[in-house]
Every structure is written in structure tokens, then in C-alpha cells.
Amino acid sequence: MLSLIKLPRVFNVHQVPKAFQEDSIISGYRHPRSSAIDCVLSLFQLTNETLNVWTHFLPTWYFLWNLMTVVFMQDVWNDTYTWPLLVFLLSCCVYPLASSCAHTFSTMSTRARHICFFFDYGALSFYSLGSAITYSAYVMPDAWLNGMFHACYVPIAVFNTIICTAMACYSRFPESQKPKLGKVLRISAFTYPYLFDNIPLFYRIFLCVGEGCTVNEANSLHIYHTLLAFLTGFLFATHLPERLAPGRFDYIGHSHQLFHVCGIIGTHFQMKAIEMDMALRRPWLQAHAPAVTFGSTLGAALLCLVFSLGIIYLFSRPLLHSPIPSKASSPASKNCRH
């Protein structure tokens, strides 16, 4: 069937505008003014974005299946102890779906590229908050329960996700003139919330000794997730391996694909570790930890979504009201005709 459909043409790095160029990726670019249909059709041909889409789109259904399992197999309406897990699993569905959509439709125009990735950044911020909510409920070391840090942990995580979304969205604007600044801002926007969210986990698995350290079978899974998270950040920051051999990893094996794969596998281990902590620690947590409330779980998630969508709107509004350059005057149109 697909053989009867004319698939979109692909281009090299010199035929697309600078805003669409990726570090050390030479070929496999889609037309910078693709139609929505062309974007969808491009998923069924090999471009430098194809695996970026599928490595996040397919795992979305895996996490959705886990979310539906919790919803239908547990009494989520009456059992507030499950609410942190619900928020986390929802965030695990949202961030790969937003990423796959962003990579699919980002070549419709320069403004579409910015707006698509604004939503991607907002989804990643939401995932960060989902992690913090479950860590507060299930992962926090015994010795830290009911302390000042525990009481402030989720509110600070909500604030961090708002700052993260704003900083990541802003990072796209100086990128054209100062790409290093844009990169530093974006990496910082996601590194800081990750490090804050994982303070209780790092203390529990790397620093804590003696009583109150919460040593159980989940710790090894937490370590796997932590190692994969650092590998994910390393790949995103260094653009390896394509930086060592520009053009060789254009279609398969470049850093963004590996970044996606490591991130998804890391999220899988994180989910399993959280579920194990949730089950193993339930009797003790329900006897000693603060009660799980709507405000500290679903309410915090809704607040994050409202603020993130507001930030995305504020950054998108100037783009939506800016004049659209005609295709004839586009610098890339001479080289990128269908």
C-alpha cells in the first residue's frame, strides 16, 4: 500500500534553514515547510527523525497500559494511597506522546517547530513533577518523613516545574544567535529539577547508613534508573557518537535516538522501583507518613498543567501573530522544492 504513496523527499544539511539543522547530522532532513500529511507519511520512511518518533510513540502505549491496569485493578476512587502513582503514570504517558508529536510535526514551519517543542518541554516538566509526587509518597527515606524538607518538597517541585518550562521555552529564542547559550539554558532547565527531585533518593541509596535508611529490594532498581538517567543526560549534552563521525549516524544510532531509548528504559526501571516501594512500604507509610491528599497529588498536577499551558501560550503568542514568510521568499525553498 505504501508503495503506491509518494513519500516526501529528504534533504541534506545545506538545503534546510539553520533553525532545522542538527549538530553533526548531515542528511535525512525533511522539508522545512512540510504539510501535516507529509509529516505523518515521513514516519514510514527513513529520515533522521523517524526513530526519534517511534522510540517514544510506541512506549506511550506501554505506559498507558500500566496506567489502565492501575485504574481498573485498584480502587483508585477510594484509595488515596494510589493517587501519587496515578499522577506519575499519567506523566509517563504524556511526555513520550508529546515528544513523538513534536518530532513528527516540527518541520511544518519554524514557528511550528518552536511551539511543538514548547509542549515537549511542558510535558517533561510534568513528568518531573510526577516523579517528585511519587517520591514524596513512597520513596522518601524513613528518617526524613514528616520533616521540614518533606513538607516543602512537593510545593518546591511544583515551583521548579514552572521555572523549568519557562526556561526551556525561552532557550529556543537565543539559540539562533547564541546556540551554546540556548543549549546551556535547556540543559539547566531540566538538570536542576531532576537533581532536586532525586535528593531523597540519592541520600537513601548512596549516603544513608544505619537506622532510617529504607533498605529494600527496590534500591537496586532505583540505581538502574539513576545510571540510565545520567547516561541520558550525557548523550543529550555531548551529541555522541555522531560528533565523532558526522554523517555516519544520521539515520540510526545518533545521540537523540539513544537519548530517547535510555530515557524510556530508565523510566521503566523508575516505574518498577516506585511500584515496589509502594507495595513493600505501604503498611509502614500508612502508619507513619502524612496522609496522601488531593492537594499534594492531583491538585499539584493540575496546578502544574495550568501554569505550563499558560507559559506555552505566552511564548507561542508572539510566534502566532508574527507574519508568515512566503514560500517563494523562504531561503530554503530554492533548494527544497517537492
Residues 161-172: tens digit of each pLDDT: 999 999 999 999
For residue 29, the cross-strand partners are: 11
* C-beta separation of 95 from 126 below 8 A: yes
* C-beta separation of 23 from 244 below 8 A: no
Residues 259-307: tens digit of each pLDDT: 999 999 999 999 999 999 999 999 999 999 999 999 999 999 999 999 9
- Average pLDDT over the chain reads 92
Exposed, middle or buried, 51 (CB in 10 Å: 0-12/13-18/19+)?
buried
Residues 2-42: tens digit of each pLDDT: 555 778 899 999 999 999 999 999 999 999 999 999 999 99
* pLDDT-based confidence at residue 328 (cuts at 50, 70, 90): very low
- Tell me what pLDDT residue 76 has: 93
pTM of this prediction?
0.93
What domains lie within the chain, and their CATH numbers?
A: 50-320 (1.20.1070)
Of 175 and 256, more confident: 256
Strand runs labelled E in 115-242: none
Residues 166-215: tens digit of each pLDDT: 999 999 998 878 888 988 999 999 999 999 999 999 999 999 888 878 88
Within 8 A by CB and 6+ apart from 135, the residues are 153, 197, 198, 200, 201, 274
* C-beta separation of 247 from 26 below 8 A: yes
